[in-house]
Amino acid sequence: MFQPRPFRIASSLVVPLVVVALAAGCGSSSGSSSTQSTPSSSAGAFGVTKDAAIAAMVPSAIAAKGSITVASDASYAPMEYVAANGSTVVGADVDLGHALGAVMGVKFNFENVTFDAIIPGLASGKYGLGISSFTDTLARQKVVDFVTYFVAGTSFYVKASGGPAIGSLADLCGRSVAVENGTTEQSDAQAQSKKCTAAGKPAVLLHAYPTQNDANLALSSGKADVGMADSPVAAYIVQQSNGQFKLSGSAYGTAPYGMAVPKNSGMTEPILAAMKKLIADGVYTKILDKWGIQSGALTNPGINQATS
């Protein structure tokens, strides 16, 4: 995204990471793939049922169709990634999306799309929703609306053996940094590079890749000194790296994740209502517990909650 926030890891995360191809399910550089998720496998697992009052809020055209195409970069585990079968998109965002769809009586069909293609695709009408660890920002709100559902920051991760000590953005001066293209991490590193040179220090050597998996590979192969990702994603990358990576410093820039909704689509209010119901019913907590990301729970979801 215009500066996404979220990362996504791919199916290779479920096996030993020899080269740390932490597949960030963002999809191929071509823009999308055929990988999709199965609603019944997640919504049904949590016992979610349709709420007639909320379903009545869904725009008639979408309700009549009965489904909506949801763009997600499946390379940002544990939020969204491609399962071991190589075709199914899974993750916390996917489970939440299917649960929301069940409440509204609308099937959510997830498509694996590269992150920086999602917001343009929403603006053009190609996709009906974007659920892909997007950080809600004022800049993005100029193009889409957001229904917030989670809170995350940005974390640094390095090689466990010989990796530099990175405690803040200021420590990136002169360092080679790997990020996923279009993310907030990319923007943060670019802004920090200007600060570095203004202070007479070496610039940040930024390397932006099509997917999070590619960024992880750059770090494991020695092409980069530091990796950056949303805090739940970075933690998962480290967890799945078999000791190859470690977190460095503390997360910074805590901000809400939002589901990206096309302007004037009529879907923000029903999604928000469905989110509140999932929280009240305890389903939201069950989904976060399943993926081990309880620390990012949002108790008061809203529309366009960004402050910067």
pLDDT value of residue 308:
87
Would you say the C-alpha torsion 308, 299, 131, 85 has a positive or negative sign? Answer: positive
Selection from 213, 188, 216, 192 nearest residue 202 by Cα:
192
pLDDT given for residue 276 in this prediction: 98
What pLDDT is attached to residue 264? 96
Residue 257 domain-assigned? yes
Distance, in Å, from the CA atom of 273 to the CA atom of 212, rounded to the nearest integer, reads 32
Answer whether residue 15 is part of any domain.
Answer: yes
C-alpha to C-alpha distance for 296 and 6, rounded to whole angstroms:
13
CATH code for position 142: 3.40.190.10
Residue 68 inside a domain? The answer is yes
Let me know if residue 306 belongs to a domain: no
Residue the block writes with tokens 């943060």: 188
Q: Is residue 3 in some structural domain?
A: no
| Amino acid found at 282 | G
Nearest-angstrom CA–CA distance, 302 and 55: 18
How confident is the model at residue 268, as a pLDDT? Answer: 98
Q: Does 307 reside within a domain?
A: no
Task: Give the strand pairing for 129-130 and 144-159.
Answer: unpaired
Q: Which residues of the chain have pLDDT under 50?
A: 1-34
- Identify the CA nearest to 2 among candidates 115, 155, 132: 115
Residue-level pLDDT at 65:
97
How many structural domains are present in the chain?
1
User: Which residues form the domain of 229?
Assistant: 11-296
Q: Is residue 6 in a domain?
A: no
